[in-house]
Structures are given as structure tokens and as C-alpha cells.
Amino acid sequence: MQNLIISGIGPLSPSGAGKEKLWELLSGSPSVIKEITRFSSLPGAKGGEIADKDIDAHIDARKFRRAADVSKYAMAAIGLAINDAGLDSVRGEDSAMVAAITHGALNYTQDYHESLLTGGVEDISPALFSDSVLNAPAGNASICFGIQGAVHTIIGGVSASIKASIMACRLLEEDSIQRAAVIATEEINELSFYCRRKFGESIMSEGAGAILIERNNGERNSQRYCSISGFSSYLDTSDLDKSFRTAVDRALAMAGIKKQDLNFALVDMPPGIHSGYLDNIQQNSVSRYTGNAFCVSSIWNIIIAAYIIDKGFLPEYFSETGKKPDNADNIKNVLVCSLEKTGSAAAMVLTKIA
Amino acid sequence: MGIISAHGTGIEDNWLNVAEGRSGIKEIESFDSSRYRGCSGGEAAGFTDTHLDRLKNKRLDRASLLLIHAVREALSKADIINSINDEDIILSLGTTLGGMLSGQMFHQEAVKKGIDKARVSLVSDYLAHYQPVNIFREFDLRGDTIMFSDACASGANAIGYAYRCIGNGEHNTAVCGGYDTMSEFTFAGFNSLMAVSPAMCRPFDINRDGLVLGEGAGILVLEELRSALGRNANIFAEIIGYGKSSDAYHMTSPDPSGRQASNAISSALKDAGNPDIDYINAHGTGTKFNDAMETAAITHSFGDRAVSIPVSSVKPMIGHILGGAGAVEGIISILSIINKTLPPNLNYNTPDPDCGLNIVRETSSHEIKTALSNSFGFGGSNASLIFREYPCKI
């Protein structure tokens, strides 16, 4: 595999826009998990909402004012990642994009169904339909940023962002492109909140995250957070632990390291499921502090893993001592991995650039 | 290969109906379409259920049932239905809306009865990433899955991805394709965009006024050539080229210049080693903008040769299967190669000067060695695949 690096990160989380806000959330900031304001039909529902939906600060959004929140979040996150990478633009055929989606624009979908059922055909806004299709965030973002290389949307649960990142690495290997953006985006919706609560998940979240992946060829004096040294995804519906172990082992093998070489792991598991496979590795997850944002949870994990490697130390809530170490340069390999209750597992190893 | 469409269930029925130039477009039966601008579509009306070995039908969306049936046919035709679980495979699928019929039912119940009365059991197969899981469970598979939702280019991209996975040696066997069902949600949506024809789908005709929707699934088994030869497999065709791009132009309208669609075609041609193309299975939706754009793209990619290559769209026969279109039409392209027969572009009566291509009016014999299949979707997603006869006699 070519030497691929993460050169820009852009989280839009309930703690705010940008990497510093996400880091602060994991370093002693007050909790962002509060009573949901989006809807009132589920009293006591708690989660991490995006407080500031004005994305004009991040992109020229006038053209997209009618877009669904998932699309707006995606565009804001990519704008943040592009700025973070020190790029003026990603316009053109040498940029690609892969989006991860779990539910998509559920609020528009819900409004659309309601319009159709209560008002009839004439009552439907075409925008509610076109912006509720699953690839709308990727479509809107590609238009917003002029991305004309391959643009894909990968559907999945928490593993989808890792799979989308793997896809982006493949595109850099196979296509004549300079960079690939990976985005994940989700929005809180009352129906999905209701269903997830029935399935035993009580705290939801929303937002987006984006990373930029480039070749580490020194052509651009770019920000370089870390290299992507290994990845894998696997599904065995009959044996969840085997799925998880296989994905992790293959990612480690690709990176040329062993489990004990990992300094930290960011792990997302479904409620009530535990794999002992990484028990000896210090681990945590952003979603513990934001609520479950599905595919976005794992892009936030990738983003914070890259930032941890760049900074050389863990944020306070992730650290066993709770303090910045004296030798802030001892984090070399971080694993980001996930397992879904279907058995779908994915893993990615991020490594300090030598 | 495995296929379900308005032309029936299975390769043989589908090809017979395509070659005879029949239309499977009828008035929609699964819901009341009388209040819409167009009221017809290509439903897979003959398909009601499928045999299940491991899963239970009760909670499966029609999308999963279509998919399971098509996968079973593809695995049987490839003669690997009893050995597919001996190795790790890649399952690469594309859809636009996943299990939308279940989703629609859930939303309806929530609106009519209240959120706490809506059946949560409907939700799991609503989500598009549950359909590949159902395939893994039904056929006891292991390996990896990827689920594309690139609008109408989903199926083509799923095949292209699988082709790359085989090409780079990552997997020995891939099961790939696309699917979508007919739902009122989708039907009403395309109607609201004024994209549905009130009369008939007539791609490239000057009087074209919109698309008709369809439903179905197309599944291909891809295998590395030496492996297929080693087990004496019945090889239908080779995939030799794949290209993709994005318009970055508009969410629902294609870039009229066709520049990025042309880039997808040209990338596929380059990937295939620039072979002569004997037939183009067009995306050909029958909308004003798509067909003019596709003409521009084909002209840009092929130059002077564009006017001589036979072109047809099968959407007037089976409708637009959205995420399944690239896969179903890819299979029809392969069957055209095998049968050396050009499928007709039904309802093409008055040529449009803006669509100056060699449109196939009637079924005809033709020495097809290579076929290009185009898929262009919402959000500006473009994908092209090139298939070649096997054994190649070029």
C-alpha cells in the first residue's frame, strides 16, 4: 500500500465545530448530553445535539439553505477539514469523496411521508424527496466543493466510516487523484430515537466528521497527522467475536505490527456486547461523551485518534492519569475499530509518521 | 447471473422478453397510482415470494426477497451454491432506497397511529445495510460486504468495486449487483420532480417527457479467470473496464455538457485498453436532460464513431430500477453479447437532433464482442462498465 496520510480533520460535534472543541469535550468540558430539544414527543430523551446549525461560518451555504441537516453538517465538516489541511480548494477531477451514512435525512423523510399522507401528492416539496435520498449529503457536498473524481456513499452502522475510509484509500491507490475526503453525517430524528430506545440504546447524538487523506509524497507542505498503516473489515453473522478479531488482526498484519504495539484503541461496540480481544489495550470511545451518532461515532474516533498521534498524548478523559504526560511523544500506533450487532466489524491502524 | 425485473424472474425469461421487444410496463398494482402524473411502472408483478433456507420471511422487506432470489439464481448458474461458504467472499451491493417498503409502512403507522404504535420490527430491514446481512445469513456466507448508495449508479459502482477486488487479488469470488423495489415513496418523489412520464418512456425521442420506474434485482458472480477456468465454470463474459466520476453540478439535473459522464466512459475505455465498442446499453431514462447529456457524453468519448455505434435503453421495457439499474442492465448487456443481438429502444419514433446517436429501433442480430453499459444518477454520480465476450476472439 502507498504511504497515505491524514492531512486534515473536521469534526462537527455537539461540543462545537473543529478539532479543538472535540478535544475539549474529552478534556474536562461539561457534558454535551442534555435533554433533546428537537422534538417533544419523547419526554426525557437525552442526547448530544448540534446547537449551532448555522453553517455559513464554514462554507458559502446560501445555495444549500434548503438542504437537510445531514447535508449541511457534511458540508460544514468538509469545510473544516479543508481549512485544517491548509488547502484553498479540493475542486476538480483529482479529488474524490466517500461518504458514510447510517440513516440519512430522516427528518426530511418523516416530513415527506407526513405530507404525502396528510396533504396528498400536491403537498410534497420536491426538495424533501431529492434531499432525503441516501446519497444527498455526498451529492450536495460534491457540488459545494466541486469534487469531480469518484463520489461514493457507503451505507452501514458504526463501521461505515471505517469502511468509507478504506474505500478512500483504495481510490487513492487505483485512481489518478491527489486526495480523498471521507465524511460521515447523521441527524437526530424522533422516530429513530424511539426505535433505538426500544432496542436498548438510550443516548443518541448527531453531527458530522470529515478527514482528508493524501499521499505522503512531500509534494505539498501539508499538515500530516498520521499515516494510515492498516485496515480491514469483516463479517461473520454467526460469530461476532470472530468478525471483530479477524478485522483487527488483518488490520494489524497490514500495518506490520502486533497487538502489543498499540498504544491506544478507540472501540465502538453495540450495547451489551463485549469482546475481550483488546482487554490489555487501553481503550475508550468518543461516543461515550457524545451519545451514539452511528457512523459518525467512528469518524469522530478516527479524527481524535489522528489528533492524539499528532499531539503525542491522550485527552484527559482517555488518560489513566488524567494529566498530560511529561514525555508527550510516546503514542505511535492507535487502533480505531468497531463491531455492529449484525457482526459487521472494521478496523484501521493509524501510525505516527516517522 | 441472477435477475428479476418487470420481464420476469430469471435469465431466460428476461432475455426472451428483451429480445422480443416486449414491454413489461403496466399500470401500477401495488398501490393506487391514479392520482399521479404518471400511473404506470415496471413492477416485478410475478414475484411474490422466494424459497428461504435459513431466514424467516416474516420480517423481510421485499427488497431482501428480491435480492435473495437473484443471488440464489446467480450462485446456481455459477455452480457454486454448495461451495460458496468455503471461502471468504466480497458481497458488493448497490441500492437507492434499501428496504423502503418497510420504511414506508413504519412511517405510515407512525403518522396514522402515533409513534408508540408503529411497529419497530419494520425498521431493521428498512435500513439498506441489513440486506447484505440477510444475504450472508441466508447463504451462510463469510467475508466482507459493502453497500453503495450512489443513486442510479449504485449497482454499476457495486459491480465496479467487486471487479477491482478480484483484479487486485483481494478476493477470489465476488457476488455483486443492485436492487430496488417499487414504492409509493419513490414514485411520489419522482412525480413531485415532474420526472415521471404521463405516457410512456421513450429515450432519445424528441417527444420524450420522462421516465417510468421499475423494480428488480441483478446479481453477478465475479471470479478471477484462472480460478473459473480451473473449476471448468460456465463463463458468461469478462468485465474489462470500469470508470466513474462526479458532475459536481446539481442534485437532480445532470451537467448538460456531459463532460464528467464522458470522463466515466473514457476512464472505462482506458481501463479496458480502448477496445472497439460494438453496443452501448445507455442509461437512457427518457428525460429531456439525461438523454441529451448522455448523447453529449458518448459523442465526447467516441468522437466521429459515436454516430455508428448501436445504442439502446431497455428502460422502456422494464422501467428505471434506480439502484438496480446498473446491474440489471449490465446483465442485459452481457446477454446481448452472448446472443449477438441488439435489444430495441422501444417507443423511439421521432429522432431528436440533440440526440444524434444510432438508436436501435428493432431487435437485430449484430456481432457484439464488447458492450458498454452506462449509469448516471442523482447527485451527479456517473459509472460505466465494459463487458467482453468470452472466449475473446478479437
Q: Of B97, B142, B242, which to mutate for an interface test with A (greatest number of A Cβ within 10 Å)?
A: B142
Q: Tell me if B130 and A342 make a contact (CB, 8 A cut-off).
A: yes
Among the listed residues A22, A46, A9, A51, the one whose alpha carbon sits nearest the alpha carbon of residue A292: A46
Q: Which of A118, A139, A235 sits opposite B378 (nearest CB)?
A: A139
Interface of A with B in 87-106 (CB under 8 A): 91, 93, 97, 101-103
For position A85, what pLDDT does the model report?
96
For position A122, what pLDDT does the model report?
84
Collect all residues of chain A within an 8 Å Cβ-Cβ radius of residue B188: 116, 121, 124, 129
A325 pLDDT band (50/70/90 cuts)? low
Give this complex's ipTM.
0.97
Q: Give me the count of residues in chain A.
A: 354
Per-residue cell: B4: 428479476
CA distance B385 to B161: 11
Per-residue cell: B107: 412511517
For position A344, what pLDDT does the model report?
98
Higher pLDDT, A218 or B191: B191
For position B393, what pLDDT does the model report?
59
B132 pLDDT band (50/70/90 cuts)? very high
For position A328, what pLDDT does the model report?
65
Q: For residue A319, give how far its alpha carbon lies from the nearest alpha carbon of chain B (Å).
A: 34
For position A131, what pLDDT does the model report?
93
Higher pLDDT, A196 or B178: B178
Per-residue cell: B40: 404506470
Q: What is the DSSP code (8-state) at residue B198?
A: S
End-to-end CA distance of chain B: 24
What Rg, from alpha-carbon coordinates, does chain A have? Answer: 19
Among the listed residues B103, B63, B147, B180, the one whose alpha carbon sits nearest the alpha carbon of residue A195: B103
- Residues sharing a CB contact under 8 Å with residue B81, sequence separation 6 or more, in sequence order: B72, B75, B139
The mean pLDDT value of chain A amounts to 93
Buried b (16+ CB within 10 A) or exposed e, A249-287: bbbbebbebeeeebbbbbbbbbeeeebebbeebebbbbb
Q: What's the whole-model pTM score?
A: 0.97
- Residues sharing a CB contact under 8 Å with residue A182, sequence separation 6 or more, in sequence order: A97, A98, A99, A100, A161, A164, A165, A168, A210, A211, A212, A213, A299, A302
* pLDDT tens digit sequence for A216-239: 877 777 789 999 999 999 999 999
Q: Is the pLDDT of residue A63 over 90?
A: no
Q: What is the DSSP code (8-state) at residue B96?
A: S
For position A55, what pLDDT does the model report?
74
Q: Is the pLDDT of residue B338 over 90?
A: yes
Give the residue numbers of B marked as catalytic: 152, 283, 320
Q: Which of B112, B127, B250 sits opposite A143 (nearest CB)?
A: B250
Q: Is the pLDDT of residue A242 over 70?
A: yes
* pLDDT tens digit sequence for B255-289: 999 999 999 999 999 999 999 999 999 999 999 99
Per-residue cell: A150: 469518484
Q: Is the pLDDT of residue B107 over 60?
A: yes
A68 phi and psi, to 5 degrees? -70, 160
* pLDDT tens digit sequence for A65-123: 889 999 999 999 999 999 999 999 999 999 999 999 999 999 999 999 999 999 888 88
Task: Give the chain A residue nearest B255 (alpha carbons).
Answer: A143
Q: Residue B218, SS3?
A: strand
Q: Is the pLDDT of residue A292 over 60?
A: yes
Worst-scoring range by mean pLDDT, A206-220, B10-24, B75-89, B300-314? Answer: A206-220
Q: Residue B92, SS3?
A: strand
Q: Which of A91, A121, A152 sits opposite B148 (nearest CB)?
A: A152
Interface of A with B in 175-234 (CB under 8 A): 190-191, 194-195, 198-199, 233-234
For position B15, what pLDDT does the model report?
98
* pLDDT tens digit sequence for B198-219: 999 999 999 999 999 999 999 9
Q: At A255, which amino acid appears? A: A
Q: Express the helix, strand and coil content of chain A in percent, nearest 5 each.
A: 35, 25, 40
- Residues sharing a CB contact under 8 Å with residue A46, sequence separation 6 or more, in sequence order: A33, A34, A35, A36, A202, A203, A291
Tally: H helices and E strands in chain B: 11, 17
CA distance B194 to A160: 33
Average pLDDT over residues A169-190: 95
CA distance B92 to A103: 19
* pLDDT tens digit sequence for A141-167: 999 999 999 999 999 999 999 999 999
What stretch of H or E contains A190? Answer: helix A190-198
B7 pLDDT band (50/70/90 cuts)? very high
CA distance B32 to B368: 42
Average pLDDT over residues B164-193: 96
A322 pLDDT band (50/70/90 cuts)? low
A354 pLDDT band (50/70/90 cuts)? confident
Collect all residues of chain B within an 8 Å Cβ-Cβ radius of residue A160: 129
Q: Is the pLDDT of residue B394 over 60?
A: no
